[in-house]
Amino acid sequence: MRILLYNPDNGVTRNFMPHLWMFLLQALTPPGHEVLLIDGNAQPMDEAQIAQYVRDQNIGLVGIGAMTRMIAKAYRIADAIRATGVPVVMGGPHVTEMADEALGRDGGPRHADAVALGEADQTWPRIVDDAVRGELKEVYAPVDVTGKDSKPSLKPYPVIPWDKIDLHQFNLLPKIVHPLLKKVGEGWGTFRIIPVESGRGCPYGCEFCTVTGFFGDSIRFRSNESVVNELLLLKARGRKEKGQMAVFFIDDNFAINVKRTKSLLKDIIAAKAQVHWVAQISANLLRDEELVDLIAASGGKWIFIGMESIDPANLKDVNKGFNKPGEYAAVLERLAQRNVYAITSFIFGMDNDTTGVAERTLAQVRTWPPGLPIFGLLTPLPATPLYKRLETAGRLTRPKHWQEFIPFTMAHTPLKMTIEEAHAEVKYGWAEAYSPKSVAHAVDSLDDQPVGYRVNILLARLCFRGIYFPMMGRFAWLKVVGENRRTIFKLAKEAIFGRKGRPGKSKVELAYKDAPAPEVSA
Ligand code: B12
Ligand code: SF4
């Protein structure tokens, strides 16, 4: 049977990396089937086009996965496919919580023939077998033989054949920057970020987060060997294609078990499996100097930190009191000393936020090492404790906000400002943090660093801008380049003609001088 796995586009901007679930389910598909993948972010298709594709390719089963914010698009696509007579199975965090909605059991229209609840590693082969026999059930739940909810172990973990998968749709480099990058160094033909998981689960239970409910609070890890082998495969492919192959460890909290993370990072270094990587780690776990040394030595470049707020009262409200705003600066300095920088994520519209929260936050951000601040609005995702609290308090203004997804728009009333004021705060945050002046400031603050680091922060800033300000088309990119031309020309000049004086080696490079460096340094 030919199976299509489809992930809808997010409707705002191009995703910077493919979705792991598609490659994972492809690897877990029983032999004898052909699995095709379409990521709507890389290959946009409307309902008519996808229906035509399904007919032309003689597809027998379609699997669709989506987060809450893409679910309306996912349902429209599913409806178009089902109209061709091909069955659709849906999975992922949204339909796990809202299975009745997908199956039309809540009084609304039906969008899916079957729904896979939770982690589908073990149920997917069953779904495929049932589809072949034409006996799809409505609901597939991961349960053990006694019927109890069971979470798949990540040992063993399937080999995802990254050396063979067609990745051309995921090259992140716009052609316009190729001349500049060629000057930066060898190996800049392509730049891809590949999702890799080393573990699942987070016990922290922040009020707005789906993860603790979805993956459970029992943390599961892959073996170090399995992760290292995956990195070696990716590294070999990057080298073969003379391109950059970076990794996003998509674990919700990559250092949730610090001892195990250190052991993994040491094994990566020992196996010379370093690639440049990004991971999500909560600030409280970054107090450990040895961990941060190992992050840098194993190729860690960017750490995503869910700071959420600089106000302890807000953090306590959302059950994230383990975040201590007083230590944010020290954490970021500790990383920056090792040339590791942070993606700092903030949420506005929290219950203790008042107008001016964006400027108050930015005033702190400006005193930190340069990074990539991002701003969002508190969003009640289905089945989270936050959703239940706001529903009980009668504060939801759009209880089914996902049915009409509007980017950066609140679905409940904040306590100390209006919805419009909260929207204005997010807009201000993005506009200020990514203004040409702020971009130039971030690049200049790395004046003592090699040009590669400075180009790195420039490109990252320009790309991240696109999370809020749509930058899909060529014109939008040209406009951004035009606005930042001074900084771009300055760096281009530096890359071509060089600069006086070379910065010395950082403390970490000296400490780990015997550790092999990542293949190509950014
Ligand atoms: C990586 C990631 C991203 C990436 C993008 C996605 C990508 N390209 O991978 C980035 C960093 C861009 C991102 C951004 C956002 N993310 Co995000 N992200 C994740 C993260 C950390 C990992 C996803 C992953 O690969 N997991 C591992 C795979 C194996 O798990 P999985 O995707 O759930 O798939 C399994 C099952 O769900 C199931 N399954 C999934 N799909 C399908 C389909 C079929 C047919 C079947 C049978 C089964 C199935 O089988 C898989 C194997 O068991 C998750 C949290 C998490 N741990 O999952 C959050 C998560 C998915 N993100 C979330 C959110 C809210 C966001 C943002 C909206 C945040 C924000 N406020 O801006 C943005 C929006 C992104 C966008 N622009 O569209 C929420 C979604 C909650 C929800 N109800 O939708 C999650 C769960 C985190 C959370 N805090 O709650 N995210
Ligand atoms: S630490 Fe992150 S993954 Fe864990 S519950 Fe909180 S927001 Fe979710």
Distance (Å, whole) CA 182 – CA 188: 6
**Would the pLDDT of 522 be above 50?**
no
Q: For position 82, what pLDDT does the model report?
A: 98
Ligand at minimal distance from the CA of 247 is: 1
**Would the pLDDT of 77 be above 80?**
yes
Residue nearest atom 16 of ligand 1, based on CA coordinates: 67
**Mean pLDDT across 454-464:** 90
Name residue, tokens 């506005």.
Answer: 348
- Amino acid, single-letter form, for residue 429: G
**Would the pLDDT of 511 be above 50?**
no
Distance (Å, whole) CA 468 – CA 265: 33
By CB atoms closer than 10 A (0-12, 13-18, 19+), residue 295 is buried
Joined together, the tokens standing for residue 166 give 């067609």
Tell me if 501 sits within 8 A of 432, measured CB to CB: no
Ligand at minimal distance from the CA of 199 is: 1
Atom of ligand 1 nearest to the CA of 379: 71
Residue nearest atom 1 of ligand 2, based on CA coordinates: 204
Return the sign of the alpha-carbon dihedral for residues 92, 93, 99, 102. negative
Q: For position 68, what pLDDT does the model report?
A: 96
Q: For position 467, what pLDDT does the model report?
A: 86
Ligand at minimal distance from the CA of 255 is: 2
Tell me if 85 sits within 8 A of 26, measured CB to CB: no
Q: For position 184, what pLDDT does the model report?
A: 60
**Dist. CA 354 → ligand 1 center (Å):** 30
**Dist. CA 255 → ligand 2 center (Å):** 12
Range with lowest mean pLDDT among 198-202, 212-216, 517-521: 517-521
**Mean pLDDT across 460-470:** 88
**Would the pLDDT of 472 be above 80?**
no
Q: For position 518, what pLDDT does the model report?
A: 37
**Dist. CA 67 → ligand 1 center (Å):** 6
Residue 355: closest CA among 299, 421, 310, 447 = 421
Tell which one of 67, 89, 122, 319 to mutate to probe ligand 1, the residue whose CB is within 8 A of the most ligand atoms.
67
Return the sign of the alpha-carbon dihedral for residues 459, 460, 466, 469. negative
Bigger pLDDT: 56 vs 175: 56
**Would the pLDDT of 498 be above 80?**
no
Ligand at minimal distance from the CA of 8 is: 1
Q: Binning pLDDT at 50, 70 and 90, where does residue 512 land?
A: very low
Tell me if 265 sits within 8 A of 294, measured CB to CB: yes
Rounded percentage of the chain residues whose pLDDT exceeds 70: 90
DSSP 208: T
Name residue, tokens 């003592």.
Answer: 448
Atom of ligand 2 nearest to the CA of 212: 5
CA angle (347, 349, 350) in 5-degree steps: 80
- 114, β-bridge pairs: 89
Residue 365: closest CA among 446, 296, 307, 317 = 307
Query: Which residues have any ligand 2 atom within 6 Å of their CB?
Result: 202, 204-206, 209, 211-212, 252-253, 282, 306
Distance (Å, whole) CA 328 – CA 64: 39
Q: What are phi and psi of 302, to 5 degrees?
A: -130, 135
Distance (Å, whole) CA 177 – CA 195: 24
Tell which one of 140, 198, 250, 430 to mutate to probe ligand 1, the residue whose CB is within 8 A of the most ligand atoms.
250
**Would the pLDDT of 448 be above 80?**
yes
Q: Binning pLDDT at 50, 70 and 90, where does residue 469 land?
A: confident
**Dist. CA 363 → ligand 2 center (Å):** 25
Tell me if 64 sits within 8 A of 38, measured CB to CB: no
Residue nearest atom 1 of ligand 1, based on CA coordinates: 250
Ligand at minimal distance from the CA of 15 is: 1
Report pLDDT digits (tens) over 135-188: 999 999 998 888 888 889 999 999 999 988 888 766 666 666 666 666 566 566
Report pLDDT digits (tens) over 334-386: 999 999 999 999 999 999 999 999 999 999 999 999 999 999 999 999 999 99
Q: For position 191, what pLDDT does the model report?
A: 80
Range with lowest mean pLDDT among 28-32, 282-286, 394-398, 473-477: 473-477
Rounded percentage of the chain residues whose pLDDT exceeds 90: 74
**Mean pLDDT across 417-424:** 98
Report pLDDT digits (tens) over 103-121: 999 999 999 999 999 999 9
Ligand at minimal distance from the CA of 253 is: 2
**Would the pLDDT of 510 be above 70?**
no
Atom of ligand 1 nearest to the CA of 381: 83
Q: For position 265, what pLDDT does the model report?
A: 98
Under DSSP, is residue 245 helix (H, G, I), strand (E, B) or coil? strand
**Mean pLDDT across 448-477:** 85
Atom of ligand 1 nearest to the CA of 202: 57
Q: For position 12, what pLDDT does the model report?
A: 65
Distance (Å, whole) CA 79 – CA 213: 28
Range with lowest mean pLDDT among 261-275, 376-390, 479-493: 479-493
**Mean pLDDT across 77-87:** 98
Chain length of the chain: 522
**Dist. CA 422 → ligand 1 center (Å):** 25
Ligand at minimal distance from the CA of 384 is: 1
**Would the pLDDT of 520 be above 50?**
no
Tell me if 125 sits within 8 A of 63, measured CB to CB: no
**Dist. CA 138 → ligand 2 center (Å):** 31
Q: Binning pLDDT at 50, 70 and 90, where does residue 271 land?
A: very high
Residue nearest atom 6 of ligand 2, based on CA coordinates: 206
Tell which one of 81, 103, 210, 409 to mutate to probe ligand 1, the residue whose CB is within 8 A of the most ligand atoms.
210
Residue 35: closest CA among 5, 73, 55 = 5
Tell which one of 21, 119, 139 to mutate to probe ligand 1, the residue whose CB is within 8 A of the most ligand atoms.
21
Tell me the average pLDDT of the chain: 90
DSSP 311: -
Bigger pLDDT: 164 vs 426: 426
Query: Which residues have any ligand 1 atom within 6 Å of their CB?
Result: 10, 12, 15, 17-21, 24, 63-65, 67-69, 89-94, 116, 119-121, 124, 195, 197, 209-211, 250, 252, 376, 381
Q: For position 228, what pLDDT does the model report?
A: 98
Q: Binning pLDDT at 50, 70 and 90, where does residue 513 land?
A: very low
Q: For position 254, what pLDDT does the model report?
A: 97
Distance (Å, whole) CA 439 – CA 433: 8
Angle between helices 436-444 and 485-497 (to 10 degrees): 30
**Dist. CA 13 → ligand 1 center (Å):** 16
Whether the ω angle into residue 156 lies within 30 degrees of 0, i.e. cis, is yes
**Would the pLDDT of 15 be above 80?**
no
Range with the largest mean pLDDT of 148-157, 216-225, 234-243, 318-327: 318-327
Q: For position 492, what pLDDT does the model report?
A: 87
Residue 192: closest CA among 248, 231, 274 = 248
pTM: 0.92
Range with lowest mean pLDDT among 204-213, 374-383, 402-411, 471-480: 471-480
Atom of ligand 2 nearest to the CA of 209: 8
